[in-house]
Amino acid sequence: MGLRGLKLLRAHALQRRRLGLSALLCAFVFFLLTECSHSEAEYFVFCGTTTPGDMGPTKVIIYRLDSVANRLDQVWTMPDDDYFYGVKQYSGARVMAIFAGPWGYKAADRLYSIPFDTVSSIPVPIVDYRKTAGTLNDCQYVADGEGRSLLRVSGTSHSDTVAGAHNEELIFDLSSRRTINAAALSSGATRRLSGPGPANWDAERIGEIERVRFRLEEDKWVPSNTELQSNSAPVHESVIRMKTAYGWNLIANEPQFYVLASIPERNGLTTRELLIYNRVAGTWGSMLIPGAVTMPRLLGNWLGGVIFDDNPETDYEKRMSGPAVPREDAVLIDPLTLHSFTVHLGEWCELLSIDGDVVYYRVDKGLYRARIQDDGFVERRLLVTDRIVRGINWAFRGSE
């Protein structure tokens, strides 16, 4: 082979090398673009008045944590003069439902669906009764047993074709963001609960829980709730410790477990009982948690919440109750292992989210991040100090 042939071979080899490097560079740039477009951030949901002591409309504001600048950046808020009526967060479905309406003692008339993975492009309300002068009654998250996540929305509508008001039910598919026919809901559909409201609210009134009663059949307690009857075994009498409780609240209904919390029946109690049914093992378990009126809520794969004691002025015989008294501690529960522990946080505290072993919580005006390790919090870090933190009640990880 001559000198010219060698030069040609070298030129071809150099060109192939350049093409290879170009391909690698393109792949790397594509990877970076893909990762950046799907990067995740921590979001925090504020529910309150924007000015301390203000009696104006309660607002919902979603903030994104800027961990570099140690600040909260607003990414969404309700329209001006709108009033916040309630929030239901379904962590398993990665969606939040926000009820809104006009300010001035009027009923809610629109519903926002906030997907965790597209927070930066929150759409218009999925249900809006403003044009019909109707009202929004409620919504429920439903898993239909066929892999679809649905919101079942009930409302009262007015129209020109139907005389007077009439009730209606809408089924909203969260994946397609379209309304589907109610008849398409399968017989295996299961309602999931968002659980109790935040600790600084009335957990018995705000949030999504369901009253459950038991009847004793021989040595077994059988729940009155139809779905629980068909999806669990009766509770053996030896499992329940607080047999004289007024009743039970269903506070979580998940694919692997569901949880019942006892309703206190007398003064002087210092603990509350949780009955937990493990769907995988098909077994019931019981545990006592501190605080007679502690109401934990679902946080990832945990249950957790601030410990609450009864108000000294509460009188169960006269059916008179005062506001619950919070401690400076929270309780965390693993519902599948029935393991629990308490952790000291501080005055005016709240657990906001748990993702794996990472927990976010607030103490007064301080927003914190920590890791769960050996029945405690380690690597505690103050992220933000701001008065708006006092009104934050939820947190979640979502896409930017």
Contact 304/332 with Cβ under 8 angstroms?
yes
Of residues 6 and 392, more confidence is placed in 392
Residues 80-114 pLDDT 10s? 777 888 889 998 888 999 998 887 778 889 999 88
The confidence score (pLDDT) of residue 202 equals: 45
Q: Rounded to whole angstroms, how far apart are CA atoms 143 and 26?
A: 41
293 neighbors 246 (Cβ within 8 angstroms): no
Query: Per residue in 189-216, is it b (16+ CB within 10 Å) or e — as a string?
Result: eeebbbbbbbbbeebbeebbbeebebee
**Residues 68-87, mean pLDDT to the nearest whole number:** 86
Average pLDDT over residues 278-305: 94
Over residues 200-224, the pLDDT tens digits come to 554 444 578 888 888 888 888 888 7
Banded model confidence at residue 6, pLDDT cuts 50, 70, 90: very low
**What gap in Å lies between CA 360 and CA 350, rounded to an integer?**
9
Mean pLDDT computed over every residue of the chain: 83
Query: Is pLDDT of 29 > 50?
Result: no
Residue 168 pLDDT > 80, yes or no?
Answer: yes
**pLDDT tops 60 at residue 157:** yes
Mean pLDDT of 330-339: 97
The answer, yes or no, to whether residue 380 has pLDDT greater than 90, is yes
- Residue 324: pLDDT above 70? yes
- Lowest average pLDDT, out of 235-239, 242-246, 376-380, goes to 242-246
Classify each residue of 109-128 as buried b or exposed e, where b means 16 or more C-beta atoms within 10 Å of its C-beta: bbbbbbbbeebeebeebbbe
Q: What is the per-residue pLDDT for 33? A: 40
Q: What is the DSSP letter of 109?
A: -
Distances (CA, A) of 6 to 14, 20, 289: 12, 21, 82
% residues pLDDT > 90 (the chain): 41
State the pairing for strand pair 71-77/59-66: antiparallel
- Give pLDDT, residue 25: 44
Distance CA 294, CA 331 (A): 9
Q: Which of 100-104, 163-167, 345-349, 361-365 has the lowest mean pLDDT?
A: 163-167
Residue 10, pLDDT score: 56
DSSP-derived 3-state class of residue 319:
coil
Distance CA 99, CA 127 (A): 10
**Sheet bearing 95-102, strands edge to edge:** 82-90, 95-102, 110-115, 127-128
Q: What percent of the chain has pLDDT over 70?
A: 82
Report d(CA 382, CA 380) in Å as an integer: 7
Confidence of residue 55 (pLDDT cuts 50, 70, 90): low
pTM of the model: 0.85
Is the confidence at residue 155, as pLDDT, over 80? yes
pLDDT at 352: 96
For range 173-197, the mean pLDDT: 82
Q: Which domains does the chain have, with CATH numbers?
A: 40-191 (2.40.128), 193-344 (no CATH)
